[in-house]
Amino acid sequence: MTKTTSKTAATATNQDWWRGAVIYQVYPRSFQDTNGDGIGDIKGITERLPYIASLGVDAIWLSPFFTSPMADMGYDVSDYCDVDPMFGTLADFDAMMKEAHRLGLKVMIDQVISHTSDQHPWFKESRASRDNPKADWYVWAAAKPDGTAPNNWLSVFGGPAWEWDGVRKQYFMHNFLGSQPDLNFHNKEVQKALLETVKFWLDRGVDGFRLDTVNYYFHDKELRDNPPHAPDSDEAGLDAPDVNPYGMQSHLYDKTQPENIEFLKRFRALLDQYEGRTTVGEVGDGARSLKTVAAYTAGGDKLHMCYTFDLLGPDFTPSHIRHCVQSFQSQVADGWVCWAFSNHDVNRHVSRFMQNADERAAVAKLAISVLSTLRGSVCLYQGEELGLPEAELQFEDLRDPYGIRFWPAFKGRDGCRTPMVWDKAKKQAGFTSVKPWLPVSVEHQSLSVGAQENDPDSVLTHYRATLTFRKSHAALADGDMHFLATNEDVLAFTRSKGDERLLFVFNLRRGPQEISLPEHLSVKQVLDLPGMEGRVKDGSVILGALDGFCAKI
């Protein structure tokens, strides 16, 4: 009986490994080049897996490596079940998986299924005629009598969300580039085919999927116009920069349709046939994002967790962080969230949060201290553990079509996608031996892994110590979280699970603070929160600038 109970508990733990996990995002193009073409590859990821494991993370998430014309850096897939030769082979992927699992790392991959490349065989067949077997696999619509697009929907990447096709003499929908046609999820055959591609990777042993633009799968069948969003509202959220007219609409009909719920249930049912697999959905839905996350993660029969753009903006204030977390807690009763400050789509967070270059390291350290103590899972983006700022690029260096379209008002996403810096003494900081696909930032080279590896005061050392601290306290994995009332510059909360109850106080002000503790709180033991120097005296917490404090209560 004891053995059975123990095995059941172990199985449950293994199945729920994602709850409270720390996931490290790898952008394959920019991680490590091993074949001398200036572009990162899967063998390079394998080579650097021991470094990733040394950080203390639980899993890696790989941005797309599938066969693609690379119009959108791999987010335009032309074959869901193969590796683009640029990155290697399926054998390379299998070897990488084996090594990751040997090191105790789970492997999650991007699934970009809201759209394909226009070079995908499905689209080539679909556009050939209006009556072929795949004619209805994409979103096709007739022009208005005056020849204009079927409705007013806009592309995230600028301009109308419709492209005219001369063969079918119809428009097709694209939420992103014109070379990224949207699949028609109202067609059950499309859903079946996509789930077959998911099964392909499940059978290869992947541990989970990051679902790109998960609320974009379905469109309104009636193709109704989107209304304008209310003047002076924050409805657009962070889905698009303010230079992009996409944010001027309330996106009621081109995404986040109710039919998506049933598809997510089908997706989950497939995953549940495999032990310990997980999903994290990317939800870009403006001010409605948390409501959408609630719908997509509730009930245990859809997504395991989601992330939104809420913490990916310029605000690094207690009120903003508290608002995001409390909003999630109030709207999502039984779901789960994955928090992040950076990823491949936004400016690196130390550049967003710091007020001057001198505080880069302090901001980087405080940010991970805060992030790692919030309730939820955590996603880290490659290089943030080095405190890398956003790289400054010239227009002629850009590769991101989004940035090229809106330059100079919006510089795009290349500044956070520049190559990883491994050794400042080596050519191209150890990323490649030739000219890289994006320039290696000169500013980044002095912040390389080699430069920080043995420095006890480095951002890298702080990340490792902070993630070790997180793992050593069960309350930080999935314990309850409650905020304390403080002034506008202080973030204070408790985390508790079982007999463990922890108090965290963070000072986001650029000057010292002294905070009186509530009378009902009694500090039993001050804990060594890595890199933070806060202390308690006479019932008050004394904090330096950009400082933190932790205690058992």
Q: What is the DSSP letter of 314?
A: S
Contact yes or no for 365/353 (Cβ under 8 A): no
Torsions phi, psi of 246, nearest 5? Answer: -50, -35
Handedness of CA 385, 388, 389, 393 (dihedral sign): negative
Residue 66: both structure tokens together: 């599938």
- SS3 call for 297: helix
Marked catalytic residue, from 282, 310, 390, 414: 282
The CA distance from 509 to 103, in Å, is: 39
CA angle, corner 398, sides to 396 and 401, nearest 5?
125
Contact yes or no for 202/277 (Cβ under 8 A): yes
Cis peptide leading into residue 150 (ω within 30°): no
Torsions phi, psi of 377, nearest 5? Answer: -85, 170
In the numeric block, the tokens 């209304």 are attached to 227
Q: Tell me, yes or no, if 397 is annotated catalytic.
A: no
Q: Tell me, yes or no, if 414 is annotated catalytic.
A: no
Marked catalytic residue, from 212, 239, 285, 345: 212
Q: Give the containing element (helix H, strand E) for 198.
A: helix 188-203
Sheet containing strand 305-307, strands side by side: 305-307, 278-282, 208-211, 106-111, 59-62, 22-26, 377-381, 338-339
Amino acid of residue 202 = L
How buried is residue 371: exposed, middle or buried, by Cβ count under 10 Å (0-12/13-18/19+)? buried
| DSSP track, 495-520 | EEETTEEEEEEEE-SSS-EEEEPPTT
The CA distance from 453 to 66, in Å, is: 33
Q: Where are the beta strands (DSSP E) in 97-217?
A: 106-111, 140-141, 162-165, 170-173, 208-211
Catalytic site positions: 212, 282
